Chains A and B, each alone.
Chain A
Amino acid sequence: MCLAVPGQIESLYADNDTPMGKVNFGGVVKEVCMVYLPEVQIGDYVIVHVGFAIHQIDEESAQATLESFAELGLLDDELEDLRVSGEDS
């Protein structure tokens, strides 16, 4: 329902007392309102919807999710490796 994309904070500043920041989305930079993420720092990744950062991306969770995907495929890879090594011998 809501298009929200991840980007990395490049700078933080205030505009008329509203906390704002520049966020880099894969090479393009857009001004984003930071009022809802008072704790974020330059370099953090956030998810942005209609010009507002709505959540910080948790890098550890991201890593854990990706690892869990890898584990699901692991069994197949091992079987493949076993099969290949079996053919070699």
Chain B
Amino acid sequence: MKPSTLNIASPLCPVPLRDYPQVILAHGGGGKLSAELIEHIFAPAFANEHVTLLSDSTPLCLPSQRIAVSTDSFVVQPLFFPGGSIGDLAVNGTVNDLAMSGARPMYLTAGFILEEGFEMEQLIRIAKDMGRAARDAGVAIIAGDTKVVERGHGDGCYINTSGIGVLPAERKIAVDQAKPGDAVILSGSVGDHGVAIMSVREGLDFESPILSDCASLADLVQKMLDTSTNIRAMRDPTRGGVAMSLNEIAAASRCGIELDDECIPIKEPVRSACEFLGLDPLLVANEGKLIAIVAKSDADQVLNTMRAHPLGCDAAIVGHVVEDDNQLVVSRTAVGTKRIVSIPVGEQLPRIC
């Protein structure tokens, strides 16, 4: 048989898939081709001791009775962007959601909805990205599912991941725990992911050195938890950006938050891109940053721990929690006045006029 045009130099994809350089409906049909997809792409990419190809479910033992569960679906376009792919996002997004409640993420499931005609080579790249991201985050992908929809019914590839993490005993970390006086710590520069995605959007494209900050925060969070028992709340400011997360914390905790514009780390190209698109960097998405609300007494210690970690080296105290019946998030401008940091209404659209 003449090999197809698919050029696969890796051991991930032995013979049978070479016949199908693109996803076809039968790959989601539960038959031989589905099995080949699992056997030759997902299982090797996700390799871990729990994956058994034959079972309908995966039995697990958890080291704690308190667990955290989270689920998220990923529909990002384009699928590959500077600094990552939908595969990285699908793992890190759910891992980070677990970590924000103080959990140690352990297991993920992965559900794929593929569009007929999707390039097999791209699926292999995505699966590899997921495997690498999972290993980096210290989680195992232990169950999965694949469905294929007809051409024109999907954007190539959608992924859903669900995750399980174990919670430490006697810790309550939640958005309603912020108290006046607490410090607001940001783990690094804001807006990188959103700007990286926008730079490759059709019709908006610009050349930018900015990579997505997509990363697992699980290890950083563990080190922070080891440092202090007075971390009250954590959030990863994804869609809606820092503005959204802080407003949620303020509302849930029935207090206000005061920031200082000049303390918020923003990379120069991100600031510039936001400038010409007319966007507020505080509303732009991040995928590897966290906001921690920490008791004032422990703030410096937690900050030092964060700065010693590669994902927190630019961490900064950007403000503090205050008493405020209006539950407003305000920021101090460069000229010393205050502005409200409001909740974004919807999608961030480039503002031209």
Q: Which residues of A contact B (CB under 8 A)?
A: 1-3, 5, 7, 22, 25-31, 48, 50
The residues of B with any CB-CB pair to A shorter than 8 Å are 199, 206-210, 268-269, 271-273, 275-276, 278, 351-353
Q: Are A5 and B353 in contact (CB under 8 A)?
A: no
Are A28 and B353 neighbours in the complex by a CB distance under 8 Å? no
Let me know if A2 and B276 touch, CB within 8 A.
Answer: no
Pairs across A and B, CB under 8 Å, 15 listed: A2-B353, A3-B353, A5-B275, A5-B276, A22-B207, A26-B268, A27-B272, A28-B199, A28-B208, A28-B209, A28-B269, A28-B273, A29-B206, A29-B207, A50-B352
The answer for the CA separation of A1 and B271 in the assembled complex, in Å, is: 20
CA A7 – CA B272 in complex, angstroms?
10
CB distance from B288 to the nearest CB of A (A): 20
**A-side contacts of B206, CB under 8 Å:** 28-31
**A27→B276 contact, CB < 8 A:** no
* Nearest CB in chain A: distance from B264 CB, A: 17
Q: Which of A2, A27, A50 has the most CB of B within 10 A?
A: A27
In angstroms, Cα B308 to Cα A20, docked, is 46
Chain A residue at minimum C-beta to C-beta distance from B195: A28
Q: How distant is the Cα of A3 from the Cα of B317 in the complex, in angstroms?
A: 31
Q: A3–B276 Cα gap in the complex (Å)?
A: 7
A3:B272 contact, CB within 8 angstroms? no
Max chain B C-beta neighbours (<10 A), residue from A7, A27, A28, A30: A28
* A3–B268 alpha-carbon span in the complex (Å): 19
A23 CB to closest chain B CB, in angstroms?
9
Residues of B close to A22: CB separation below 8 A: 207
A27 near B278 (CB under 8 angstroms)? no
Extra contacts, 15 of them, besides A3-B351, A25-B272, A28-B208 (Cβ < 8 A), are A2-B353, A3-B352, A7-B276, A25-B275, A26-B275, A27-B272, A28-B199, A28-B207, A28-B269, A28-B273, A29-B206, A30-B206, A30-B207, A48-B276, A50-B352
CB distance from B78 to the nearest CB of A (A): 18
Q: Which residue of A lies closest to B273 (CB)?
A: A28
**Closest B residue, CB atoms, query A5:** B276
Distance from B310 Cβ to chain A, minimum over Cβ atoms (Å): 22
In the complex, which of the residues B206, B268, B271, B276 has the most CB atoms of chain A within 10 Å of its own CB atom?
B276
Contact A26 B353 (CB under 8 A): no
Q: Pick the contact of A25 from B199, B210, B273 — CB < 8 Å?
A: B273
Q: Which residue of A lies closest to B351 (CB)?
A: A3
Which chain B positions have C-beta within 8 A of A5?
272, 275-276
Contact of A30 among B209, B276, B278, B352 (CB under 8 A): B276
**Are B272 and A28 within 8 A (Cβ)?**
yes
Bound-state CA distance A4–B273 (Å) is 12
A5 to B352, CA, bound (A): 11
